[in-house]
């Protein structure tokens, strides 16, 4: 029998399939859209094609309370912390850059959450900031990442507001600044917002959708915190942690 | 399922507040008494002793917030040139005035009672000065201000007597307006009533030191009405005797505000007026009682002394939490954490009220270092619901309570 963890995020719904020894054996990602039930059903159906799934489903994220399928809901931050501690087994800080929020979590030696913080209520410093700018400039995530790889210097983007940031960038292009340097500035602006959440004084684990699609983010962070790492498929960590939290409870 | 145990005293509270509005209405209609507008921590005792009926625009602001109509009025004030970043009590109150609407219409008043004089104290903030000046100009009536220094660290003799003197200097001006000669004995009497009301109010709040607490912040925020608007009258004293008796009875019979209380929270900052009941349900559903708050627990002026009414008013209104330095605030908070057995602190950073958002100068980190009590900051506003991102805040609060519960395991 297999367990399923689902993280119902504002942009994407992430699912993991976990075997009885708590190993992830499959991942699935769908757009959340307007209906949490539909997006989670698509994940469950996908996994059910080849595996027999155990109920309840373990959920976290924005839409977790609204599911029709039998489920146990968890706090996303607790779930994320659980997965990170399971993988790294040490005191550490986590920065998670997701679709509409960026989170900082401090995990202590015994794997408990000592502290957490979320970005202020606007999208500055989150995935939406990046997505919106990429969309407005008509550039894909991969192109965005490779632009930044070519940068020769960074440019400071001042605006917190996504819409004004785009006007600022258009002005920069008009003034002859290059896309690679501008794009690096955009990434750095996201990092600045993340580092405002806390002064990190221990090892850093980077999670969320952004490091998965924009690996440059990890490289930039490592300039500041050399020991920073990001687990593979880092956007699935909270879904995985939802399963782990409950397995632990049962045991 | 979230369970909230209602206080029986609510009906007395309603009557006490209704009667207060009826007195304002009578004074307006008959002209039997002059009307003074006063800030919430202004010299209410002096005004009551000199025969005024006293009206508090901040209470009106809170009513607009709690009635969930502030958002209708804030844009009207903004269009009039007031920034959406300033006090949203001010903007909702001025906006409602411009729209000629008020929840007081339910109490039979056609509009807010027309002032004969406006008196403010800047101890709480500077916004009240601009707010009151708007009405002073509009109604063309006298306005007086007591200017209190801000962020007071050591409460010196110079500061106290300076403020006491400013209060005393109001007397001849107020005599001209009220037509009533100042009577020291009457002032001593309102000071005594104010003191007694404050002591009772403190005792009410202190019942929440009991485990489980018989009253929570969401009740207290409503039940503090009389101590704000009737401080210095017997009405407040009478009301808090009733409320205190009910709470003592609850303790005797082990009745809790949140029957499943596991976690005890301290709330710093303003209430989210437009979300009071949904917040109460949220916490209750999380087995959590918000047992104390800066907003309610700092409203105790028990230094008022009938034998020394001017001086003690200077002392009491400068000693107030909101007018103190962060260093002094930290001492007060440390004691409250202990007295109320607090598990965690939530700081509400209220977008439009800097003075009631105590998280802005590093206090949360310092307090956590000294007490080892975790904290959470949420962003919102007292009246402007557009500044509050509910879904995100609920997730943060739920996670915080999970964190606190796991610490206790
Ligand atoms: S203290 Fe805050 S809420 Fe009260 S009047 Fe001043 S700015 Fe407004």
What CATH number does residue B70 fall under? 3.40.50.11890
Supply the mean pLDDT for chain B: 96
Say if residues A75 and B395 touch (Cβ distance below 8 Å).
Answer: yes
Please indicate, yes or no, whether residues A142 and A54 belong to a single structural domain of this protein.
no
Please indicate, yes or no, whether residues A49 and A136 belong to a single structural domain of this protein.
no
Picking from A63, A115, A196 by the largest number of B CB atoms within 10 A of its own CB, the best residue to mutate is A115
Q: What average pLDDT does the segment B368-397 reach?
A: 94
Tell the residue number behind the tokens 């029709």, with chain if given. A68
> What letter would DSSP give residue A2?
B
Domain assignment present for residue A51? The answer is yes
Domain assignment present for residue B293? The answer is yes
Q: What is the pLDDT of residue A120?
A: 66
Please indicate, yes or no, whether residues A42 and A12 belong to a single structural domain of this protein.
yes
Residue A248 — very low, low, confident or very high, per pLDDT cuts 50/70/90?
Answer: low
Domain assignment present for residue A36? The answer is yes
Please indicate, yes or no, whether residues B209 and B92 belong to a single structural domain of this protein.
no
The residue nearest atom 8 of ligand 1, judged by CA position, is: B87
Of A29, A46, A73, which one is at a domain's C-terminal end? A73
Please indicate, yes or no, whether residues B292 and B331 belong to a single structural domain of this protein.
yes
Say if residues B193 and B201 touch (Cβ distance below 8 Å).
Answer: no
Whether B392 and A121 lie within 8 Å, measured CB to CB: yes
Range of weakest confidence among A142-146, B140-144, B211-215, B239-243: A142-146
Q: What average pLDDT does the segment B98-123 reach?
A: 95
Please indicate, yes or no, whether residues A95 and A219 belong to a single structural domain of this protein.
yes
Helix, coil or strand: residue B299? coil
Query: Tell me: the pLDDT tens digits for B13-43?
Result: 999 999 999 999 999 999 999 999 999 999 9
* Neighbouring residues of A101: CB distance < 8 A, sequence distance ≥ 6: A118, A119, A126, B392
Number of domains in chain B: 2
Domain assignment present for residue B21? The answer is no
Please indicate, yes or no, whether residues A170 and A51 belong to a single structural domain of this protein.
no
The residue of chain B with its CA nearest to that of A111 is: B406
Please indicate, yes or no, whether residues A68 and A116 belong to a single structural domain of this protein.
no
- pLDDT over 90 at B6, yes or no: no
Please indicate, yes or no, whether residues B115 and B97 belong to a single structural domain of this protein.
yes
Q: What is the pLDDT of residue A121?
A: 63
**Ligand 1: which atom is nearest the Cα of residue B90?**
8
Q: What average pLDDT does the segment B191-218 reach?
A: 98
Give the residue from B70, B72, B52, B51 showing the smallest Cα distance to B61. B70
Query: How far apart are the CA of B384 and the centre of ligand 1, in A?
Result: 13
Please indicate, yes or no, whether residues B202 and B275 belong to a single structural domain of this protein.
yes
Taking contacts as CB-CB distances below 8 angstroms, the residues of chain B near A76 are: 395, 399
The residue nearest atom 2 of ligand 1, judged by CA position, is: B353
Picking from B403, B404, B408 by the largest number of A CB atoms within 10 A of its own CB, the best residue to mutate is B403
Domain assignment present for residue A129? The answer is yes
H or E element, residue B400: helix B390-408
Domain assignment present for residue A83? The answer is no
Please indicate, yes or no, whether residues B148 and B289 belong to a single structural domain of this protein.
no
Please indicate, yes or no, whether residues B143 and B200 belong to a single structural domain of this protein.
no
Please indicate, yes or no, whether residues B194 and B130 belong to a single structural domain of this protein.
no
What the block records as the tokens of B143 is 């306005």
Say if residues B49 and B186 touch (Cβ distance below 8 Å).
Answer: yes
Please indicate, yes or no, whether residues A65 and A100 belong to a single structural domain of this protein.
no
- pLDDT over 60 at B1, yes or no: no
Please indicate, yes or no, whether residues A112 and A228 belong to a single structural domain of this protein.
yes
Whether A77 and B399 lie within 8 Å, measured CB to CB: yes
Please indicate, yes or no, whether residues A99 and A181 belong to a single structural domain of this protein.
yes
- pLDDT over 50 at A175, yes or no: yes
Say if residues B364 and B377 touch (Cβ distance below 8 Å).
Answer: yes
H or E element, residue B54: strand B53-55
Q: What is the pLDDT of residue B248?
A: 98
Whether B399 and A62 lie within 8 Å, measured CB to CB: no
Please indicate, yes or no, whether residues A25 and A139 belong to a single structural domain of this protein.
no
* Neighbouring residues of B178: CB distance < 8 A, sequence distance ≥ 6: B34, B50, B51, B52, B116
Whether A78 and B374 lie within 8 Å, measured CB to CB: no
Whether B398 and A75 lie within 8 Å, measured CB to CB: yes
Which CATH number covers residue A9? 3.30.420.40
What is the span of the domain harbouring residue B161? 28-183
Please indicate, yes or no, whether residues B268 and B377 belong to a single structural domain of this protein.
yes
Please indicate, yes or no, whether residues B314 and B227 belong to a single structural domain of this protein.
yes
Domain assignment present for residue A243? The answer is no
* Neighbouring residues of B387: CB distance < 8 A, sequence distance ≥ 6: A121, B351, B352, B379, B380, B381
pTM above 0.95, yes or no: no
Domain assignment present for residue A203? The answer is yes
Domain assignment present for residue B311? The answer is yes
Please indicate, yes or no, whether residues B342 and B210 belong to a single structural domain of this protein.
yes
Please indicate, yes or no, whether residues A96 and A180 belong to a single structural domain of this protein.
yes
Query: Tell me: the pLDDT tens digits for B38-77?
Result: 999 999 999 999 999 999 999 999 999 999 999 999 999 9
> What letter would DSSP give residue B230?
S
Please indicate, yes or no, whether residues B374 and B240 belong to a single structural domain of this protein.
yes
Domain assignment present for residue A242? The answer is no
Of B183, B210, B234, which one is at a domain's C-terminal end? B183
Of A73, A108, A123, which one is at a domain's C-terminal end? A73
Tell the residue number behind the tokens 């993280």, with chain if given. A7
Strand order in the sheet with B375-380: B288-293, B263-268, B344-350, B375-380
Say if residues B112 and B21 touch (Cβ distance below 8 Å).
Answer: no
Distance CA B109, CA B87 (A): 25
DSSP string computed for A58-85: EEEETTGGG-SS-EEE--HHHHHHHHHH
Ligand 1 neighbour B127 (Cβ under 6 A): yes
Kindly report the number of other CB atoms within 10 A of residue B235's CB atom: 20
Domain assignment present for residue B3? The answer is no
- pLDDT over 50 at A250, yes or no: no
> What letter would DSSP give residue B356?
G
Number of domains in chain A: 2
Tell the residue number behind the tokens 């500044």, with chain if given. B387
Of A62, A75, A113, the CB nearest to B391: A62
Of B136, B151, B183, which one is at a domain's C-terminal end? B183
Q: What is the pLDDT of residue A135?
A: 86
Of B183, B218, B234, which one is at a domain's C-terminal end? B183
What is the span of the domain harbouring residue A47? 3-73
Q: What is the pLDDT of residue A140?
A: 86
Residue A251 — very low, low, confident or very high, per pLDDT cuts 50/70/90?
Answer: very low
Tell the residue number behind the tokens 């007694």, with chain if given. B196
Please indicate, yes or no, whether residues A20 and A50 belong to a single structural domain of this protein.
yes
Residue B363 — very low, low, confident or very high, per pLDDT cuts 50/70/90?
Answer: very high
Q: What is the pLDDT of residue B72?
A: 96
Distance CA B321, CA B333 (A): 10
- What's the alpha-carbon Rg for chain B, to the nearest Å? 21
Q: What average pLDDT does the segment B146-158 reach?
A: 96
């Amino acid at each position: 029998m297999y367990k399923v963890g689902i993280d119902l995020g504002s942009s994407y719904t992430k699912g993991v399939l976990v075997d009885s020894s708590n190993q992830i054996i499959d991942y699935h990602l769908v757009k959340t859209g307007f209906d949490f039930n539909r997006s989670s059903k698509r994940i469950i159906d996908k996994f059910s094609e080849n595996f027999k799934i155990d109920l309840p489903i373990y959920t976290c994220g924005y839409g977790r309370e609204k599911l029709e399928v039998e489920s146990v809901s968890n706090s996303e931050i607790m779930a994320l912390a659980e997965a990170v501690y399971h993988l790294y087994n040490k005191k550490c800080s986590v920065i998670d850059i997701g679709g509409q929020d960026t989170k900082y979590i401090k995990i202590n030696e015994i794997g408990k959450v000592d502290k957490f913080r979320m970005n202020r209520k606007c999208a500055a410093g989150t995935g939406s900031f990046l997505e919106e700018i990429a969309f407005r400039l008509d550039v894909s995530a991969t192109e965005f990442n490779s632009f930044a790889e070519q940068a020769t210097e960074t440019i400071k983007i001042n605006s917190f507001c996504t819409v004004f940031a785009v006007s600022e960038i258009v002005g920069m292009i008009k003034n002859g600044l290059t896309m690679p340097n501008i794009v690096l500035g955009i990434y750095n602006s996201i990092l600045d917002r993340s580092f405002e959440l806390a002064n990190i004084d221990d090892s850093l684990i980077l999670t969320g959708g952004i490091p998965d699609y924009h690996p440059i983010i990890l490289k930039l962070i490592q300039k500041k915190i050399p020991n920073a790492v990001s687990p593979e498929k880092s956007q699935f960590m909270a879904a995985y942690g939802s399963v782990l939290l409950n397995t632990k409870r049962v045991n | 399922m979230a369970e909230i145990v209602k206080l029986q005293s609510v009906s007395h509270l309603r009557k006490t507040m209704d009667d207060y509005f009826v007195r304002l209405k009578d004074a307006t209609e008959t002209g039997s008494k002059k009307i003074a507008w006063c800030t919430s921590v202004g010299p209410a005792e002096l005004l009551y002793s000199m025969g005024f009926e006293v009206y508090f625009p901040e209470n009106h602001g809170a009513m607009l917030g709690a009635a969930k109509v502030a958002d209708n009025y804030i844009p009207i004030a903004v269009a009039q040139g007031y920034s959406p970043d300033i006090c949203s009590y001010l903007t909702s109150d001025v906006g409602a005035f411009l729209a000629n609407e008020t929840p007081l219409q339910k109490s039979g008043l056609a509009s807010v009672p027309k002032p004969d004089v406006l008196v403010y104290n800047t101890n709480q903030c500077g916004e009240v000065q601009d707010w009151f000046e708007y009405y002073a100009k509009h109604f063309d009536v006298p306005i007086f201000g007591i200017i209190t220094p801000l962020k007071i660290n050591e409460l010196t003799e110079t500061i106290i007597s300076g403020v006491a003197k400013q209060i005393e200097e109001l007397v001849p001006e107020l005599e001209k307006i009220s037509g009533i000669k100042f009577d020291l004995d009457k002032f001593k009497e309102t000071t005594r009533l104010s003191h007694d009301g404050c002591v009772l109010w403190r005792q009410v709040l202190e019942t929440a030191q009991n485990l489980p607490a018989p009253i929570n912040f969401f009740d207290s925020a409503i039940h503090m009405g009389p101590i704000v608007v009737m401080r210095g009258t017997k009405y407040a004293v009478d009301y808090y005797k009733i409320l205190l008796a009910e709470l003592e009875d609850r303790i005797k019979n082990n009745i809790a505000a949140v029957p499943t209380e596991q976690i005890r929270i301290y709330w710093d900052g303003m209430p989210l007026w437009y979300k009071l009941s949904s917040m109460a349900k949220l916490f209750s559903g999380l087995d959590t009682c918000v047992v104390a708050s800066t907003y309610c627990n700092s409203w105790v002026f028990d230094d008022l002394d009938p034998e020394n009414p001017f001086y003690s008013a200077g002392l009491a209104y400068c000693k107030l939490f909101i007018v103190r330095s962060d260093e002094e605030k930290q001492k007060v908070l440390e004691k409250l954490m202990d007295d109320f057995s607090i598990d965690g602190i939530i700081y509400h950073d209220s977008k439009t009220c800097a003075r009631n958002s105590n998280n802005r100068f590093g206090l949360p980190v310092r307090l956590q270092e000294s007490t080892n009590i975790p904290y959470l900051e949420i962003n919102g506003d007292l009246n402007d619901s557009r500044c509050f991102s509910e879904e995100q805040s609920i997730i943060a609060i739920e996670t915080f309570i999970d964190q606190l519960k796991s610490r206790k395991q």
